Amino acid sequence: MSSNPEGISVPTRVRLLSLVAALALTGAAVAGCGSSDGATSATTVAPEGVVITDPWVRATPGGSTLGAAYMTISASEGDRLVRAEVPTSIATTTEVHETVTSDSTDTDGAMGASEVEGSEDTEGDGMGGGMGQMTMREVSGVDIPADGDVVLEPGGFHIMLIDLVAPLAAGEVVPITLTFEKAGVIEVQATVRSS
């Protein structure tokens, strides 16, 4: 079933809300490194070797106030994504989440966070008798190994945009400010698309 190694660390339920306003300013100050050509480039490379590829946000379904952002991240030296923010003019709160598949007998939320896995695909997961449930949890960060990409993708890690101010329509661009332990703050321009 789920191949998540358990007990690596406990997810911290830290609300980032109080930091949003302060970081929005920080993000704006650093925005020059990525946003000036953001409309034409789908890849952002930071000096520290962090590469962000194909950042995108799903177009908002009817009536929803939630969004999810996805991208591929690599770091030549290895790094750790510790925070993601979008401007409060787009969404009130931004959190890093992971979707996991659990057995129905183990849905009390007590599983350890798997923060080292990136792109485990979901082949057949949850199909043992069809009882596997999918659920989300907030994670304190996402480790980016030196020797491989981490894919934030549907059914895995994603950046969750909570309380969208307005629905996001295909073609729009959402600036996302990512904070890495080593590389610091990197802003990417995520394109909104339907899938």
Partner 1 sequence: MVMSSCGGDSGSAYQGIRRPSPLDVSSVSITDARDGSAVAVTPPEGDITLVYFGYTHCPDVCPTTFADLRLAMEDLGPLADRVSTVFVTADPQRDTADVLDNYVGSFLDRYSVVRIEDPARLREVEAQFQASSELGPVDDDGNYDVSHTAIVYAVDPSGTVQVEWPFGTKAPAIVNDLELLLS
Footprint on this chain of partner 1 (rule: CB under 8 A): 13, 15, 58, 61-64, 66-68, 97, 99, 101-102, 104, 107, 109, 121-127, 129-137, 154-155, 158, 160-162, 194-195
CB 59 within 8 A of CB 65: no
- Min dist. Cβ of residue 172 to partner 1 (A): 16
- Min dist. Cβ of residue 45 to partner 1 (A): 27
CB 161 within 8 A of CB 152: no
Distance CA(191)–CA(136), nearest Å, equals 23
Q: Between 8 and 131, name the residue whose CB sits nearer to partner 1.
A: 131
Distance CA(128)–CA(131), nearest Å, equals 7
- Min dist. Cβ of residue 161 to partner 1 (A): 8
Q: Between 54 and 121, name the residue whose CB sits nearer to partner 1.
A: 121
Q: Between 44 and 94, name the residue whose CB sits nearer to partner 1.
A: 94
Q: Between 151 and 185, name the residue whose CB sits nearer to partner 1.
A: 151
- Min dist. Cβ of residue 72 to partner 1 (A): 16
Distance CA(138)–CA(28), nearest Å, equals 25
Q: Between 108 and 147, name the residue whose CB sits nearer to partner 1.
A: 108
- Min dist. Cβ of residue 46 to partner 1 (A): 26
Distance CA(174)–CA(118), nearest Å, equals 23
User: Which tokens go with 142?
Assistant: 């996402």
Residue 116's identity, in one-letter code, is V
Distance CA(29)–CA(27), nearest Å, equals 5
